[in-house]
Amino acid sequence: MEKQQSTVLDTVESKCNVAKKRESLRKKRENHKIIKNAKKSQDDTIDNKDKAKENPCLKSESTGSRESINTKPNKQEKEHIYEVPDDILTRSAEYFHETEGMKEQLKHLDNVTLHIAVTGSTGAGKSSFINAMRGLQPDDVSAAPTGAIETTMIPTMYTHPTMPNVKLWDLPGTGSHKFKAKKYLKEVKLETFDFFIIISSERFKENDIMLAEAIKERKKLFYFLRSKIDNDIQAESQRKGFDEQKVLSKIREDCHRNLKDMGNPNVFLISTFELHKYDFQTLIDSLEKQLPAHKRDALLLSLPVYSSKILEKKIETFMKQTWSAAAASGCIAVAPVPGLSIACDAAILLGFFTKCYYAFGLDDESIDKLSVRVNNPSLKSVRNSPLVVAIGQKKLSNKELSALTSKEAGVKFAWSMVPVVGSKITAEMTYSATLNLLRAGLQDLADTAREVLKAAGLTDVY
């Protein structure tokens, strides 16, 4: 671990020293421009605040809520990226380039875009699958419309409600008699997608097979999903001598017979209303193995918490991310700006913990849905961690998080005044302190999520 930390810190120091080699003339020009803009921004902010006092109905841009505009807007989209206050970043003209670059790094840390294409015949359950992947019910505001009639005539994108970098696409149905796979893939822009989900609620038809072969030719990933398994089980359960495993085996064998010309590919049996049952976890395991690491992490963090196994995978993914977040903190620490490191540490912690909070399903909306699903209205009472409560009540501000690192503020600032050696030691101190805080907070949130699943009776679901 010491070797890994040393490597990270060396990288941090290397990145931070680049800025010191910039031409002095360029620095002077930037200094003049930034000071001028900072003064104007400060004057505008004061002016806006004065106007707001005069007219309470007037909402200034600096205090108003921000909403992301997506193809399918989410009414309650959550902020999950790392934010560093502009007034803190512009406090030092000399380190303008470093802090601006770091701000972008913090905002887009692990914010990799993942495009998932969902296709199949009319009524197969494409929209229901998309809603399930996004943790939404059919009657939710931003849910994909469902129905037996084809509702999708052009590719329609649905953004994940808490991770806007994950996008699911509902593609037009493949049931037409004049269906041509290659033309279809050209029209829907095949290159856009990371992988394809081909869904059928019955036997896979010729058009499904043609589409899969065309996707395979272009070296894209695809997966066959046999949907509505819960309906099949319900229907067969009325028969004498019913055996669920035999029914599942029969359905699986039937699908394989239809697809034998493709080399017997895997077929995943799923129910969008019961993700913890049947083959959904097996599907996720396959995606984990075949997707690039950064795409895999985006997928895992976007999934609803339907079992202990998926929760533990999310915790593991976030644990890996603590290294990157702490390294960002160490890089910021070398800038000789009073308060910059502490404020940025607070922004990193706040962004990271908030992202965990929603990914673990600890928000009110997720808890309410889980309570209905397992018929346990007391699940909210399990969330008694002060950190969880503070995030939920939006009382975990940058100022409050800054207090967590205030004990080291003086030492870090003192070392930042020492040339070369001071910068490295400051980065190392900040890196270690932030890493410990990130992991402590992650553990707190993870333990709370485990308690919620235990109360919901889902701890044995693997």
- CATH number where 222 lies: 3.40.50.300
Examine the fold and report which residue of 261, 281, 302 is the final residue of a domain before the chain moves on: 302
| DSSP SS3 for 56 | coil
Does any domain span residue 101?
yes
Decide which of 105 and 425 is more confident: 105
| Residue (of 200, 187, 197) closest to 232 by Cα position | 200
Name the pTM for this structure: 0.67
Tell me: do 241 and 172 sit in the same domain.
Answer: yes
Tell me: do 189 and 216 sit in the same domain.
Answer: yes
Is pLDDT above 50 for 222? yes
Token pair belonging to 81? 């990226």
Does any domain span residue 369?
yes
Phi, psi (degrees; rounded to nearest 5) at 344? -70, -40
pLDDT of residue 329: 56
Examine the fold and report which residue of 283, 302, 321 is the final residue of a domain before the chain moves on: 302
Residue 89 · residue 274 · CB < 8 Å:
no
Look over the chain and give the mean of its residue pLDDT values, rounded to a whole number: 71
Give the other-Cβ count within 10 Å of 33's Cβ: 12
Tell me: do 359 and 434 sit in the same domain.
Answer: yes
Tell me: do 80 and 182 sit in the same domain.
Answer: no
Tell me: do 281 and 419 sit in the same domain.
Answer: no
Tell me: do 347 and 313 sit in the same domain.
Answer: yes
Tell me: do 47 and 139 sit in the same domain.
Answer: no
pLDDT of residue 178: 66
Query: Dihedral through CA 19, CA 21, CA 22, CA 28, nearest 10?
Result: 90
Tell me: do 325 and 263 sit in the same domain.
Answer: no
Which domain, by its residues, includes 88?
8-52+66-109+306-456
Structural domain count of the chain: 2
pLDDT of residue 152: 59
3-state helix, strand, coil in the chain (%, to 5): 55, 5, 35
Decide which of 224 and 91 is more confident: 224
Please tell me the distance from the alpha carbon of residue 42 to that of residue 48, in angstroms, as a whole number.
10
Tell me: do 294 and 367 sit in the same domain.
Answer: no
Helix (H), strand (E) at residue 45: helix 24-54
Does any domain span residue 61?
no
Helix axes 308-332, 280-290, angle to 10 degrees: 30
Token pair belonging to 45? 């902010």
Please tell me the distance from the alpha carbon of residue 443 to that of residue 458, in angstroms, as a whole number.
19
Does any domain span residue 57?
no
Is pLDDT above 80 for 8? no
Question: What is the pLDDT confidence band of residue 401, given thresholds at 50, 70 and 90?
Answer: low
Tell me: do 98 and 131 sit in the same domain.
Answer: no
